[in-house]
């Protein structure tokens, strides 16, 4: 039996959740039962394939501390997570014309509900839409702030980019936190809490960034794959000693999805 339950704070950042969208707008609340309408994400899929480096699954390995020539000082920061999680080509993306690609796709995705009302889509198609919009918008903002030496203030400070209302869908101004907590978690999360694994945040303690877009026909498989990768990595969970389970504090951000957070 694993007890007590402890949360890693040395590696991962303090949990933060703030979203201003109090209730789920009517335009986002319903769904189609047997609709065969689908949304194509070929442009986003291709962009992710050329900008995300897939490093594969964690083997729970640790990077050895590195020391420079002529010094006894060794670097040990995050050695247990340094070899984990996919990487994003920030430097190359910023140098190339690709830096505007995510913004263009985000603006295009915002217009989709004007052409196909979201309420006419089946739930899996809606979920894929929100996850892709979130991912595209997040990467757009991280690219704008690159180079980033610490994401703690950027993500969880008083002016968190997660709270910035720069996304507009059907006349509603939305933040990244609105999409995660007040749309996806409220509409999909209680029945399928696995949606928590669709929200990469650009830091080491969050779920992985996939090198592909989410697709309605396989979105739950993709989320299950994210979840399996996360919990089987040092970033997500670690067992130390005989009775201590350490978790990423990302789980505190998903507390609303659990009936009994501590026990669950």
Higher pLDDT, 16 or 241: 241
Per-residue pLDDT reduced to its tens digit, 53-69: 998 887 776 656 554 55
| Sign of CA pseudo-dihedral 209, 212, 215, 221 | negative
In whole angstroms, what is the distance from residue 260 CA to residue 264 CA?
Answer: 6
CA-nearest of 181, 174, 192 to 255 is 181
pTM comes to: 0.86
Q: Which helix (H) or strand (E) holds 240?
A: strand 237-240
| Sign of CA pseudo-dihedral 101, 219, 196, 109 | positive
CA-nearest of 52, 15, 8, 18 to 152 is 15
193: its two tokens: 């809490």
Other CB atoms within 10 A of residue 100 CB: 12
185: its two tokens: 């978690």
CA-nearest of 240, 175, 182, 184 to 207 is 184
Query: What pLDDT sits at residue 2?
Result: 33
Higher pLDDT, 106 or 238: 106
Per-residue pLDDT reduced to its tens digit, 182-231: 999 999 998 999 999 999 999 888 999 999 999 999 999 999 999 999 99
Sorted by sequence, the CB contacts under 8 Å of residue 92 that are 6+ apart come out as 51, 98
The answer to whether 257 touches 20, Cβ cutoff 8 Å, is: no
Query: What pLDDT sits at residue 8?
Result: 33
Give the least confident one: 38-47, 175-184, 240-249.
Answer: 240-249
In the predicted model, what is the mean pLDDT of the chain?
A: 85
Query: What pLDDT sits at residue 33?
Result: 83
Per-residue pLDDT reduced to its tens digit, 132-177: 999 999 999 999 999 887 788 899 888 899 999 999 999 999 999 9
Please provide the DSSP assignment of 135-160 as one string: HHHHHHHHHHH-S-S-SHHHHHSTT-
Per-residue pLDDT reduced to its tens digit, 75-123: 445 667 667 788 999 999 988 878 899 999 999 999 999 999 999 999 9
User: Average pLDDT in the 6-22 region?
Assistant: 45
């Amino acid at each position: 039996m694993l007890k007590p339950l402890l949360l890693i704070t040395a590696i991962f950042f303090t949990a933060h959740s703030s979203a201003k969208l109090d209730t789920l707008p009517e335009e986002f609340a319903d769904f189609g039962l047997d609709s065969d309408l689908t949304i194509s994400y070929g442009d986003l899929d291709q962009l992710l394939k050329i900008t995300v480096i897939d490093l594969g699954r964690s083997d729970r390995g640790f990077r050895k501390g590195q020391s420079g020539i002529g010094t006894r000082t060794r670097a040990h920061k995050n050695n247990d997570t340094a070899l984990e999680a996919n990487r994003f080509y920030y430097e190359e993306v910023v140098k190339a014309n690709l830096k505007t690609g995510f913004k263009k796709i985000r603006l295009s995705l915002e217009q989709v509900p004007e052409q196909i009302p979201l309420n006419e889509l089946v739930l899996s198609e809606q979920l894929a839409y929100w996850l892709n919009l979130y991912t595209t918008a997040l990467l757009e903002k991280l690219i704008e702030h690159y180079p980033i030496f610490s994401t703690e203030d950027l993500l969880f400070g008083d002016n968190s980019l997660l709270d910035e209302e720069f996304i507009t869908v059907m006349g509603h101004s939305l933040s990244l936190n609105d999409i995660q907590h007040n749309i996806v978690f409220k509409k999909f999360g209680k029945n399928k809490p696995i949606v928590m694994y669709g929200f990469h945040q650009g830091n080491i303690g969050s779920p992985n960034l996939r090198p592909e877009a989410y697709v309605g026909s396989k979105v739950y498989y993709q989320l299950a794959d994210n979840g399996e990768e996360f919990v089987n990595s040092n970033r997500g969970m670690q067992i130390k000693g005989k009775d201590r389970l350490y978790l990423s504090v990302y789980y505190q951000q998903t507390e609303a999805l659990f009936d009994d957070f501590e026990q669950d």
